Structure 1
Amino acid sequence: MQPSLRSAQGFLAGSLIGTLGGLIGLGGAEFRLPVLVGLFRLETLEAVIFNKAMSLVVVAAALLFRSGGIPLEQLTAHLGIALNLLAGSLVGAWWAAGHALRLSRQWLDRIVMVMLVGLALVMLAEAAVGLHDGSAPLFASAPLQLLAGLLAGLGIGVVAALLGVAGGELLIPTIVLLYGVDIKLAGSLSLMVSLPTMIVGFARYSSSGAFAILGRERPLFGWMAAGSILGAAVGGLLLGLVPTRLLMLLLGVILLVSALKTFLHRH
């Protein structure tokens, strides 16, 4: 594939995925991974590292975009939620990234496919039942809530490291349901958890030879990052034009089909 065509495809793919993600308040990394493997023919570990670096850029931009919508004082008042989840997610991301480096390609493919299918099912479940805007926390007991936050963070950190995603599709419903905060605040808190979690996973991957993908695919990375940020901004502007449940249902089906088609085809 010609470099100019590859860059153009990267910008277009990044724009479309960023727009879809922006419409539901996500970075879109779960949709980007099958594209990197299926369309751009990256090895799975390379695609995960590439996706992780891209997610860092998109999440950092999203955090800046949202800074005007949620006052800093409100985020500071709920800092304990982010710290509770981070205590688990940092450990999960470090552990999972280290194990991913030692897995065979076949096993990594299988694990990634199962996780993507799981995320698709989460989206379909959210489309079916919806998310409330926060009420009472799930647990009245503070120690029980702390333990649940640690375990949830641990699992989310594992998923984020193995897929190279920000984890918002899991973090947002966890924050809303477990801590009883509204969904808009949950979106900003999820970004506060995602950024350190991704940095830890990214640092762990830096010892891998597959890390060289960022140098080899620099033009693709630059154009796809530009498209992703533009798409996320456009998606944010279009927020509310498409019913959230309908969009989640559509995206859940797309992710399910693309994950199965991409990773089953590799075998």
Structure 2
Amino acid sequence: MAPHTRLRTLITRLGAVTITLAIAQVPVAEALPEGSADHYAGSQIAKHEGRDRTARQRPRTAGSVPGMDVSSHQGDVDWAKAWADGARFAYVKATEGTGYRNPNFTQQYNGSYHVGMIRGAYHFALPDRSAGATQADFFASNGGGWSRDGKTLPGAVDLEYNPYGDTCYGLDQAAMGAWVRAFSDRLVQRTGRHPTIYTSTSWWNRCVGEADRFGDTSPLWVAHYADVLGPLPHGWDYETIWQWRAAGLFPGDQNLFNGNDDQLHRVALG
């Protein structure tokens, strides 16, 4: 099945939900526990899996849309320049665990919207700190909402290597799958949308494996820093977004949406 056909299938499945939530909650900066830091999407993947520094800026084609993701590491972003350089969508870090809120979230999330981008928020998960539902609540209350305005992507959960210890946070595959399911179910309750799942193939196959099939409901945002994407995590037949480079023409990391502008808009509409 062609990527655009599979994408329409996912959109149809999500399209039955009716949403009445506000566009965004505005978080206030809050420190992580002592010894913690603000981790951005892919920070631990690059550390453990490396990155291909020979990868170049990929040209825009009829089958993909360029985008970006940012966190507090980028500070206030020049969104007009990012738009002029070609970025058409963005994911913005909102929260981490249950103790961190991106102090630059308002400028980044609202700024990308006002320049014309389709944007969404993401949460850096710490599955050994608290329950999946608890972290989903924290995320939904601090930037992870969704509105059927055609400009807001479903909230994303960033699942990658543990910054503080055991790769899989001390959880076996069944327990990790249950954690992700609890996060997903609560975010559906709070926002009406299943989360986009951000991960790498290596981490997911090791820590979640085939414990559950999230590809039936959640778009895949996969990180792999090379010119060729390679195998996908268990449970997905195609990627919705590929994070292919950590920095470059746009501030933050660089991504490609697997489809055209109209399909990106339909994902936002749900």
The two structures have a TM-score, normalised by structure 1, of 0.26
Q: Decide which structure has greater helix share.
A: 1
Rg larger in 1 or in 2? Answer: 1
Q: Normalized against structure 2, the TM-score is what? A: 0.26
